[in-house]
Amino acid sequence: QVQLVQSGAEVKEPGASVKLSCRASGYTFAGYYIHWVRQAPGQGLEWLGWISPNTGGRNYAQKFQRRVAMTRDTSITTAYMELTRLTSDDTAVYYCARGLYDRSGNWWGFDYWGQGALVTVSS
């Protein structure tokens, strides 16, 4: 069965960086983009960007372009998301999700999600 298993909760001080992992299993890792989405406490969902496990290509939401880096290690079917220069506004649950596309590359949705990782930014 498809699974995305994320690393655990993190507590960081303002100005620090955090790197989260998302280990995929149950499907061909290279065949599906991995997206990262966050949710601040009591708030809605916010998309950060995606990475192609096949090519390493990536696309970030403009809001995060200067602070986010997405990478992957195909040997262990794991995607990573690093966010730098953290502030209290970055306190949120961070999810990885698998992108669902048709054969023409048209996007359909995010069909599997990780369990989420809470990042708390506090001094």
Partner 1 sequence: SYELTQPPALSVSPGQTASIPCSGDKSGEKYGCWYQQKPGQSPVLVIYQDTKRPSGIPERFSGSRSGNVATLTISGTQAMDEADYYCQSWDSSVGYVFGAGTKVTVL
Closer by beta carbon to partner 1, 2 or else 15: 2
Query: Taking the complex as a whole, how short is the minimal distance between the CB of residue 61 and partner 1, in angstroms?
Result: 5
Closer by beta carbon to partner 1, 2 or else 11: 2
Please give the residue ranges that form the binding site for partner 1 (CB under 8 A). Answer: 35, 37, 44-47, 49, 59, 61-62, 95, 97, 100, 106-111, 113-116
Query: Taking the complex as a whole, how short is the minimal distance between the CB of residue 82 and partner 1, in angstroms?
Result: 19
Closer by beta carbon to partner 1, 59 or else 74: 59
Over the chain, what HEC string results?
Answer: CCEEEECCCEEECCCCCEEEEEEEECCCHHHCCEEEEEECCCCCEEEEEEECCCCCCEEECHHHCCCEEEEEEHHHCEEEEEECCCCHHHCEEEEEEEEEECCCCCEEEEEEECCCEEEEECC
